[in-house]
Structure 1
Amino acid sequence: MKKQLNSAAIKALALDLDGTALGLNAEFTGRTIGALRACISRGIQVILCTGRAVEGAEKHRAAIGAEGPMVYFNGAEVVDMPEARVLSAGLMDLAVVDFCIDISRSMGVHYQVFFPAAAGSREILMIEKYSAEAEMYQKHTSIVPVIGDLKEAIAKPGLSGCIKGMFIAESAVQDLIRPKLTARFGNSMYMAQTFPTFLEIMRAGVSKGEGLRFAMKQRGLKAEEVIALGNEENDLPMFNAVGFSVAPANSRESVCAAADLVIGSNEEEGVAAFLEEFLLN
């Protein structure tokens, strides 16, 4: 049953970036920045809930001036910003990473891995070769990858796990990869399509929903005080963590069906229009 929005009760927005708040060029429009800043000025907190790394989301966070615990890597990390202090982290078992490397090599599919940060540094994105997919991801996120042998990297002493891995491939190829991982690991890892060509693999129990619940607890927020806005299957756990959920019209069909309200697409600045109508009028 679809819920009705009680605008007066809202104290925070849990905001997905790609495909939701960002336009087709993966940037905020001026109107969206203005609406989000206006919400913050009225005391409504903005919690980024994104599959992106801290580095890949930072210019967007800074553009709107949002602060406090944010959800990155689809919930694998919750980080207090702008200090970049990691509050929680869930690392994926290296056996899963190793198997994904085998799949990548045997199928000729691009695979990349985020390694946890060393003291005083940011997380490291590693690939085995620079490809069209790697170039697209770098343009999309502005993150420059390190090129090297992934098998050697995960075998280094002291490494207890990785933040997440990602295949970049068309949906038909992802459909071939998913059953291989399920047959090998069952429910001991988490898979989610986060972008039309992104299939992300993380530790079991990691999700935007769990990351958001942790961030909300840190901020002293109740579920009924938060609106979640998202467009992909990785946003569905986030919808279950809050009192009201919103999906832009460009969302996956299952996401639109799960949302309490469907708004204009990201191309139509749907998030800005929603905020202007329901929270800023």
Structure 2
Amino acid sequence: MAVASVSLLPGRRELTDRPRLVAIDVDHTLIRSDGSLATATVHAVGEARSAGIVVALASSRPPGGLWQYLEPLGLIEPAAFVAFQGALVGTFDAAGSLIVHATSPLDAGDAAAAAAAAKSIGLTTNWYTADGWFVDALTDSVLREAGIVNMQPELARDVTSLPAPLKLLFIAERSGQIEALGPVLPASVTAEMSNPAYLEVTAAGVDKSTGVRFAASRSGIELKEVVAIGDGRNDLGLFRRVGASIAPANADPTVLAEADYLTASNNDDGVAVALRWLAGLGTR
């Protein structure tokens, strides 16, 4: 689907004023499919910030997997980001040191039950704390994820002996595993698919809107003054709570069905297109 500019989707909310904050998903939204950050996107983030818009990345990635994009975008302290699907809000200083502002960990019992359920169907548990990424097996899927986020996990045979995680990630090794896991997870957790093979698990009621709300409040901004840009089903909780939402043309069909606006795909610099359009809107 080729899109040259931002367009309002039929029957959706129309935005007339410039947002005070834009929350941007990373994978398949901010960055291209090869993991690169387009020069046009870097420039557009600068233009949006010059227009008075706060820009915050909002990702399911761990903080360490965001630094490689936050630094070239100039989104360092005091600029906040949201990681772990909304379970952590932090900033990085100019030297790349993490400062954690808020966390929403899973209940330890729920996390242990989820890990046991995953093990029963042959899935590896990715157990994330503010200090590290731990796995109970170094599978091909774990190694692929390590290459994507530019981080290395630590092997821990019993992840449940670790501090309560901020997020659990389960990556399907074969067809049907994610569908089998969902029904046996504790009912009190929040589980969202970030792509067809990835299931992100956070504490009850925690999604990207949790972190974005906290990040926005640091600047006196309400969720109704936020625009969200994202492509995955795990962005929908945020889409439903902000003032308006924008999906790139490559987004999941369920996301396209709920988004207010459509922009170009991630490989056609859709975030840059959207930010320039938003910066040009009128102000309240």
User: Shorter chain as normaliser: what TM range?
Assistant: 0.7 to 0.9
Q: How does 1:33-182 map to 2 (within 5 A)?
A: 33-67=42-76, 68-82=79-93, 84-116=98-130, 123-150=131-158, 153-155=159-161, 159=163, 161-169=164-172, 172-181=176-185
Task: Measure how far apart 1:229 and its partner are.
Answer: 0.3
Cα distance in 2 for residues equivalent to 1:12 and 1:94: 33
Change (3 A) 1:171 1:236: farther
RMSD of aligned alpha carbons: 1.9
Cα distance in 1 for residues equivalent to 2:175 and 2:29: 20
Q: How does 1:251-270 map to 2 (within 5 A)?
A: 251-270=251-270
Cα distance in 1 for residues equivalent to 2:224 and 2:167: 30
The percent of aligned pairs where both chains have the same amino acid is: 26
Q: How does 1:202-217 map to 2 (within 5 A)?
A: 202-217=202-217
Change (3 A) 1:115 1:275: closer
Q: Deviations over 1:38-89 (max 9, x none)?
A: 2123322111111011111011111111242221111111113436322211
TM-score of the superposed pair, with normalisation by structure 2: 0.87
Partner secondary structure for residue 80 of structure 2: strand
Task: Measure how far apart 1:171 and its partner are.
Answer: 6.0
Q: Name structure 1 gaps, 5 residues minimum.
A: 117-122
Contact 2:53 2:279 in 1 (8 A): no
Cα distance in 1 for residues equivalent to 2:89 and 2:175: 29
Letter in 2 for 1:93: D
Contact 1:92 1:202 in 2 (8 A): yes
Partner secondary structure for residue 219 of structure 1: coil
Contact 2:121 2:177 in 1 (8 A): no
Letter in 2 for 1:166: L
Greater RCO, CA 8 A, separation 6+: 2
Partner of 2:193: 193
Cα distance in 1 for residues equivalent to 2:193 and 2:34: 19
Cα distance in 2 for residues equivalent to 1:267 and 1:17: 13
Task: Measure how far apart 1:231 and its partner are.
Answer: 1.0
Q: Name structure 2 gaps, 5 residues minimum.
A: 1-10
Letter in 2 for 1:140: I
Higher helix share: 1
The more displaced of 76-85 and 194-203 is 76-85
Contact 1:233 1:255 in 2 (8 A): yes
Task: Measure how far apart 1:258 and its partner are.
Answer: 1.1
Cα distance in 1 for residues equivalent to 2:224 and 2:146: 37
